[in-house]
Amino acid sequence: MIRFQKKNLLYKIYTWLPILALFISVFNEFDFNYLNIDYFSFNFPFILIFYFALKAYQRFDYFLVFLAGLFNDTVVGLPLGISSMSYILICIFATYLRNITISPNLIKDWFYFLFIISLINSINFSVLFLFFSYELDITLFIVNNFFTFLFYIIFSIFFKRYLKSLDD
Amino acid sequence: MAESRDDFIIAIRSAFLNKSTKQKFSLLTLVFFSIVIIILSSFNFKAITVTKSVIKEIVYRSSFIVSIPENLIKSSYVNLNEYTNFYKEYKQTKEELDQLKSENISTKIIKSENEELKSLIDGYTITSNKILAKVIVDHESPFLRSIIINKGSKEKIKIGTNIYDRSYLVGRVIEVNYTNSRVLLLTDLNSNIPVSITPGNVQAIVVGNGDKKGEIKYIKNDLINKIDGQGIAYTSGTGSIFKSGIPVGTIDLKDENEKILINFYSDFSQLKYVFAEIDELIPTPVETKANDQTQVSSNTEQIKLDLISDELQILEDSNTKFLEENKELNTLTNDLTKQIEILKSENEYQKSVIQQHNLDQEELEFLRLNLIYSSRCQSKKLFSTGFQVGTEEYKRCIMRKGKISD
């Protein structure tokens, strides 16, 4: 395991890694869409935001999450503010879950995550379709929702290790 | 019951309003900000438009820089694939090039004629200037299909500007910033292209299917049968969204859902550079119209003449070549005729030899049989049952092996 000297610049960057990953993913659309697998896509920012908001990670600034949403809208071509709202709603739901949970359970979190992303994707779809007259394929939304749900468990293992490495 | 309700309210309040130690804003404030931005961005306030434009300029550039490592991996993969198919593609391209060279001249003539006629009809000429643009962001969203190019209002790009990959249509500009623009690709669900389909000249609308193909929609049922698998779709120019006559794709006949699809000529996932067509209208003033027309027509005539003389030169060259070939073929034909005559005479001689040989064979057979059966066939003085020696009947009797009658 790599060990950093505290107050080292590299250590500081390491502590900001979730936010950096979030910005890289929104700039870069990190979702393996270029693999051209039919219908395959997942929303990495949703997983990242939910996990770190749930764990109340100190460096995970909500304002930066909000900014990442604005950038995502610009890159993807959605009306400005849609992704920001989605990301902040995820933060709210994650914070609520944290507040009501006494003993955290990964499986419970996982299914709660499914409920949250389904709700948020539904809101997104409705807003885009009703207010902005976007033609969207609901199948793509459902598939994206499903894969995001599946990938949560995989990424949560990595994120857990990351948080543990910081505690050490 | 009341206790659990209180807990719920406390948890909600805490989620919305409580700021953690290092948070600058509460989540409620940020949700409020988001909603305000969504509402404002749906209205076209100038301040909002300018702010959006500035954000986009920054984000597109940043996205381009952040995407460099990923793009490097992607391009290496594509390059590797290209190298493996290099020779095959080279041969194919060479053949296509030869074909295209020959077609190019006729196209130029048609184009100049077309321009001349358009200028006569509309009173103005459209000068098309295609500028090269680099694709700086091409992240495929699962829901939307668009790219960002590095040319904007600075280079006179407007909303609706047609974008090409070589001479194939790939989309149109839907959003213009100062140094970059967003292009809606033909595969997007929101893209509608009026097309003509040949053969049959069927008019239809092609709508992107959100994946890699387009789907033909809004077509009369009785015209569907006119479309076959060899069909080509090109823009019809209806609605003035796209110029007419731009190749779009080939027909891919009905899939399992009875839909007629279009295979676009371009692979939209491999776009690196595209062409943006900037149209400029040059009006023809009324007072100088006659002079200008003469000048324009004389210029066009000159171009046409040049092209025709080029074509003539090519035809003459090919004609000379054909004449030479013809001469060679004539001499060859003469030689062959002579050979045929010699062979014919040889054949006749051989035939006569064979005939003679057959006759000799028959004579020998007669003589052999005569020795055996002459007594049976000769006539007797008292009981005249045979034939006189030397007659035709006698010979036939011998050949029948002594039988007087058949």
- What part of B 22-41 touches A (C-beta under 8 Å)? 22-25, 27, 30-31, 33-38, 41
Do residues B134 and B270 both lie within one domain? Answer: yes
On chain B, the residues whose CB falls within 8 A of the CB of A59 are 22
How many inter-chain contacts (A to B, CB under 8 Å) are there? 144
B19 occurs within a structural domain: no
Do residues B107 and B225 both lie within one domain? Answer: no
Do residues B177 and B257 both lie within one domain? Answer: yes
- What part of B 170-199 touches A (C-beta under 8 Å)? 175, 182, 189-190
Owning domain of residue B149: 126-283
Rounded mean pLDDT of B109-114? 75
CATH number at residue B269: 2.40.10.340
Mean pLDDT in each 10-residue stretch from start to end of chain A (168 residues)? Answer: 64 88 80 59 89 87 90 84 91 89 87 93 89 83 90 92 84
Do residues B241 and B303 both lie within one domain? Answer: no
Residue B362 in contact with partner chain A when CB distance is under 8 A: no
Among residues B283, B305, B333, the one where a domain terminates is B283
With b for 16 or more beta-carbon neighbours within 10 A and e for fewer, the B217-236 pattern comes to: eebeeeeeeebeeebbbbbb
For residue B214, give the 3-state DSSP assignment. strand
Task: Give the pLDDT score at B337.
Answer: 92
Closest CA to B160 of B141, B182, B179: B182
Closest CA to A98 of B34, B6, B10: B10
Residue B142 in contact with partner chain A when CB distance is under 8 A: yes
Distance from CA of B284 to the nearest CA of A (A): 40
B312 occurs within a structural domain: yes
Do residues B232 and B371 both lie within one domain? Answer: no
- The alpha carbon of B105 is separated from its chain's Cα centroid by a whole number of angstroms, namely 19
Q: Is the Cα torsion angle B37, A41, A142, A149 positive or negative in sign?
A: negative
Do residues B220 and B330 both lie within one domain? Answer: no
For residue B86, give the 3-state DSSP assignment. helix
On chain B, the residues whose CB falls within 8 A of the CB of A82 are 38
Among residues B263, B283, B303, the one where a domain terminates is B283
- Using one digit for the tens of pLDDT, what is the confidence trace for B248-295? 888 877 666 667 888 888 888 778 888 888 876 555 554 445 555 556
Residue B18 has pLDDT above 70, yes or no: no
- What part of B 261-280 touches A (C-beta under 8 Å)? 269
Task: Give the pLDDT score at B287.
Answer: 45
On chain B, the residues whose CB falls within 8 A of the CB of A147 are none
Residue B236 has pLDDT above 70, yes or no: yes
Task: Give the pLDDT score at A111.
Answer: 92
Do residues B257 and B346 both lie within one domain? Answer: no
Do residues B277 and B314 both lie within one domain? Answer: no
Residue B391 has pLDDT above 90, yes or no: no
Nearest residue of B to residue A43, measured between CA atoms: B142
B104 occurs within a structural domain: yes
Please say whether the beta carbons of A27 and B63 come within 8 A: yes
CA atoms of B366 and B395, how far apart (whole Å): 8
Closest CA to A126 of A134, A62, A12: A134
Task: Closest CB to A80: pick one of B30, B52, B211.
Answer: B52
User: Under an 8 A CB cutoff, do B67 and A28 touch?
Assistant: yes
Do residues B264 and B389 both lie within one domain? Answer: no
Q: B384 or B317: which carries more pLDDT confidence?
A: B317
Rounded mean pLDDT of B300-327? 81
B75 occurs within a structural domain: no
- The domain total for chain B is 4
Do residues B209 and B236 both lie within one domain? Answer: yes
Rounded mean pLDDT of B38-53? 77
Do residues B334 and B257 both lie within one domain? Answer: no
CB atoms within 10 A of CB B138: 22
User: Under an 8 A CB cutoff, do B37 and A80 touch?
Assistant: yes
Residue B305 in contact with partner chain A when CB distance is under 8 A: no
On chain B, the residues whose CB falls within 8 A of the CB of A89 are 31
User: Under an 8 A CB cutoff, do A131 and B74 touch?
Assistant: no
B10 occurs within a structural domain: no
Task: Give the pLDDT score at B289.
Answer: 52
B9-13, B141-145, B164-168, B386-390: range with highest mean pLDDT: B164-168
Do residues B201 and B313 both lie within one domain? Answer: no
Among residues B258, B283, B308, the one where a domain terminates is B283
Residue B304 in contact with partner chain A when CB distance is under 8 A: no
Residue B109 in contact with partner chain A when CB distance is under 8 A: no
ipTM of the complex: 0.81
B317 occurs within a structural domain: yes
Closest CA to A86 of A52, A60, A49, A112: A49
> What's the token pair of residue B405?
């009658």
Rounded mean pLDDT of B183-197? 86
DSSP classification of residue B170: E
Q: Angle formed by the axes of helices A44-54 and A62-76, to 10°?
A: 170
Beta-carbon contacts of B100 under 8 Å, excluding residues fewer than 6 positions away, are: none
Task: Closest CB to A88: pick one of B30, B42, B141.
Answer: B30
Residue B399 has pLDDT above 80, yes or no: yes
- Using one digit for the tens of pLDDT, what is the confidence trace for B118-142? 766 665 555 567 888 888 877 666 6
- Using one digit for the tens of pLDDT, what is the confidence trace for B68-77? 777 788 778 7
Residue B21 in contact with partner chain A when CB distance is under 8 A: yes
Q: Is the Cα torsion angle B155, B157, B162, B163 positive or negative in sign?
A: positive
Average pLDDT over all residues of chain B: 79
Rounded mean pLDDT of B308-322? 82
B9 occurs within a structural domain: no
> What's the token pair of residue B314?
């090519």
Closest CA to B233 of B255, B220, B250: B250
B4 occurs within a structural domain: no
Please say whether the beta carbons of B239 and B263 come within 8 A: no
Please say whether the beta carbons of B200 and B223 come within 8 A: yes
